[in-house]
Amino acid sequence: MGKGGKVDQTETDLADDQKLKVYKWQEIKQNKWIVIDNLVYDVSRFSRKHPGGERLMLNHAGQDATDAFTCFHNDMKKVSKYMNPIRIGRVQPESDINPNEDRKAELHKDFQNLKALAEKKGLFKANMGFFLLHFMQLIILDLIAAYIIYKSGHANWFTYSLAVVCLVIVQAQAGWLQHDFGHLSVFKSNKMNHLVQNIIIGGIMGFSAHWWNYRHYQHHAKPNTIKRDPDIRFGVLYLIGKVIPIEYGKKKIGKLPYNLQQFYFFFTLPPLLIPIYFVIETVYFLVKKRKLHEIMWISIYLLRWYAMFVPTLGLLGTVKLYFLVRFFESFWFVWSTQISHLPMTVDYDKDLSWFRSQLNSTCNVEQSAFNDWVSGHLNFQIEHHLFPTMPRHNYYKIAPDVRELCKKYNIDYQCKTMSQATIDIYKCLKESGEMWYEAYNM
């Protein structure tokens, strides 16, 4: 089946399903099994072998993971080979009542119909010319930067700054492009998607594809969910949302002046995330997982930079250039991604439907040629989260249908201007900080 389909089953498989033991949701939750298309799977052993990582699967333990499953996988024939052996039963109808959400089953069905509509419209088919042009953008700007440095070095501040601008654009746009391939949204072949992702994130950016996918898939599965989404694991640095600040305040945890976090956030996370934290996390991940082939791709990045810049700038000058580029790239990345998530709902896992959980935790930024380019079309964050394998150039085509479904269930579809989305980062940090301060001083 195509992208977003169900696990492929033969007539024999369907007949066998009727003979499977029937389980109530209470037992499924107790044993931490998962449910897909009303079938129960024991993932206790398979989770360690799961390509997306053990944590991604266990985060859905005791829940219906149908929408998450179908949204992440596009090769159902291959997946069925792994799923069939661990299928142990089926769900007893009407045995699940979620006090946190009304009409969950109905919304799930409507979302499945929306996905089918997207497939019928051909919105999961990639425009190869679109992605080729974006790839060529990286190569051309990289060569321009290398030529400028070769000719002028750092003696001329204007030409040096121009080279830095080119390199920052390369890194930021490479980040969006590897993200496309990591979501398997370009080629029909998963191997080709992963190969090109490795070339871009490893050879051009100097990071690990497996590391990125491992943390990013968790974010997509449970966005803004406490203890589930790695993108909101700020430790004791920042308190976001309305739940964590009150918890910290009542426990009298005051490691930092969180009532001032709306100020120090902009001087800490944006400049340090990519140059320091991501580098340390990548090295730790590669050593722990022993991903030697990804170390090879990163080595290509290091050798490329050595050959391009060390002969002109020297080793120290190249290191300075590296951190300067990473500094501005990090600001670009944090700004483009956090405007769509940070001001939204942050809470513990309520086992909400896929559609509702994604809408609660994401918002869009208005469409324009600049907004599309600067954010890698992640200004359509809602559509991207609902359909992670959809090529980004098609997000705007499905957006009106998403809006209609939101209206039907009275779900807030937020779309902001770029300026308002940026201001909202400051506002939400300020609000969370004040909530901590009040709870702390009660």
The 10s digit of each residue's pLDDT in 195-221 is 999 999 999 999 999 999 999 999 999
Looking at residues 98-105, what average pLDDT do you find?
81
Q: In degrees, to the nearest 5, what angle opens at C-alpha 34 toward C-alphas 30 and 35?
A: 120
**Structure pTM?**
0.91
pLDDT score, position 2 = 41
pLDDT score, position 19 = 74
Distance CA 228, CA 57 (A): 11
- Contact status, residue 376 vs residue 175, Cβ threshold 8 Å: yes
The pLDDT > 90 percentage for the chain reads 76
pLDDT score, position 289 = 85
Q: CA nearest 67: which of 281, 358, 328, 323?
A: 358
Over residues 364-378, the pLDDT tens digits come to: 999 999 999 999 999
